[in-house]
Amino acid sequence: MAQQLQAIRGMHDILPVDMPVWNQLQDQYRALVESYGYREIRTPVLEKSALFARSIGEVTDIVEKEMYSFDDRNGDSLSLRPENTAGVVRAALQAGMLQDQQQRLWYCGPMFRHERPQKGRYRQFYQLGAEVCGIAGADIEAELILLAARFWKNLGLQEIELQLNTLGSSACRQRYRELLVSYFRDHSDRLDEDSSRRLESNPLRILDSKNPDMAPLIEAAPALHDSLDEASREHFAELRDILDRVGVSYRVNQRLVRGLDYYCHTVFEWVTDTLGAQGTVCGGGRYDGLIEQLGGKPGHAAGFSMGCERLIAMLIDQGRAATETGCDVYLALRGADCAALGQRLAEEIRDRLPQLRLVVHAGGGSFKSQMRRADRSGARIALILGESEIEASSISIKFLRDAREQIEVSQAEVAQRLPALLQES
Ligand code: ATP
Ligand code: MG
């Protein structure tokens, strides 16, 4: 026998039993974002590698070591998208959607990062996201945060904390960066290997270090908030004011910098303690510089992205996950010549009851084995078509989940009777 092939490590099948909770998440998200006036956008999973190098930044974990990149047949370097913000902005620019226009967009789809697979961290994972272009005010960051908060509420999820920070304008960030470099350079003997590497290239990322040995040094580093200019302070104050007045609680976390180069002003994460080490379920912020970096006119943009697998783990842990319900009705065929009539009858029922989940037995087999399949299908009712029913132009109805007696109804009436019979069972 040939050896069975397995899926790639860190890439998971989403099986039929998993689909109800996936659909629950995606359907609720779609309904929610559309109720806020966001429109869906889908971009390719493959883009030119340059798109990510330019937008996410050369010196980030993602571009340095997490991208799936390869040369196309013509020599172009392509990458599977590690995130979708760059792709969405690229697409919106390309379609001329950002010329003096506001855009509220949302997406859902798989992302790819070559990380060490573990609970909550995969090599193919799904994100739900939102991106807004063309709005400068902090009111739009507030809207994005309110939208996410409502999503947790609709899903019934508890114990997700909002952490908030500001990185200030790019000028403030530049100033702060210099302060940081000189501070860490003065203590270069205490930097670990990752941090030494980041010292010149991406010093803000040192603040993000998970190494406990680095904690005291990071704790004593100059604070970014001291480098903020007046306009940056005001932007952050406006956001906080809206959140306070609407009643969204949050914690300001000055160490929150987010990994990607393109953020400015607001950054935020929604974090939970309930998932172990991989506790961030949503991250986002403002990224005004990105549009220009990708060849557009200077503009404004903000957005967030959520990890589906982590949210699904929470739904399951908190007993909120939808589960499989099976079909409603299973049509069993007793006797050799019933197949054609069975299919015809089923089509008539489908014409009248398009929402009904009706499985027609296929592949023959004894009546007993058909009833076993009917039971396993989850159906509440079995329709039985045999020679005696054909003669009488009727069909038998057997109740699989309760003690009601089997009945026989005319074929002409069955579609009309089924809804009530299913309700009773
Ligand atoms: P982390 O700090 O967990 O690595 P990140 O900052 O790299 O997250 P983002 O790029 O902000 O993540 O992506 C947004 C969300 O996507 C994350 O908050 C997380 O929920 C999810 N996510 C990111 N990487 C993965 C992954 N490898 N597997 C599963 N989900 C992921
Ligand atoms: Mg990451």
For ligand 1, mutation pick of 253, 255, 280 (most atoms within 8 Å of CB): 280
Cβ burial 4-30 (10 Å sphere, 16+ → b, else e): eeeeeebeeeeeeeeeebbebbeeebe
The pTM score is: 0.93
Ligand 1 atom with least separation from CA of 121: 28
Mean pLDDT to the nearest integer, 386-409: 96
Q: Kindly state if the Cβ of 61 falls inside 6 Å of ligand 1.
A: no
For ligand 2, the distance from its centroid to the CA atom of residue 250, given in whole angstroms, is: 22
d(CA 21, CA 42): 22
Cα–Cα distance measured from residue 227 to residue 92, given in angstroms and rounded to the nearest whole number? 33
Q: Which atom of ligand 1 is nearest to the CA of 280?
A: 18
- Quickly count: other Cβ atoms within 10 Å of residue 335's Cβ: 13
Does ligand 1 lie within 6 Å of residue 113's CB atom?
A: yes
pLDDT tens across 259-302, in order? 677 789 999 999 999 999 899 999 999 999 999 999 999 999 99
pLDDT, tens only, 162-215:
999 999 998 888 889 899 999 999 999 999 998 998 888 888 888 878 889 999
Q: How far is the CA of 317 from the centre of ligand 2 (A)?
A: 23
Helix/strand/coil for 342: helix
Residue 379 Cα to chain centre, angstroms? 31
Mean pLDDT of 127-144: 98
Helix, strand or coil, per DSSP, at residue 81 = coil
Q: How far is the CA of 121 from the centre of ligand 2 (A)?
A: 8
240 ligand 1 Cβ < 6 A: no
On whether the CB atoms of residues 287 and 262 are closer than 8 A, the answer is yes
Report CA-CA distances (Å) from 166 to 169, 199, 229, 240, 423.
9, 21, 11, 11, 54
Query: Tens of pLDDT along 322-363?
Result: 999 899 999 999 987 899 999 999 999 999 999 999 999 999
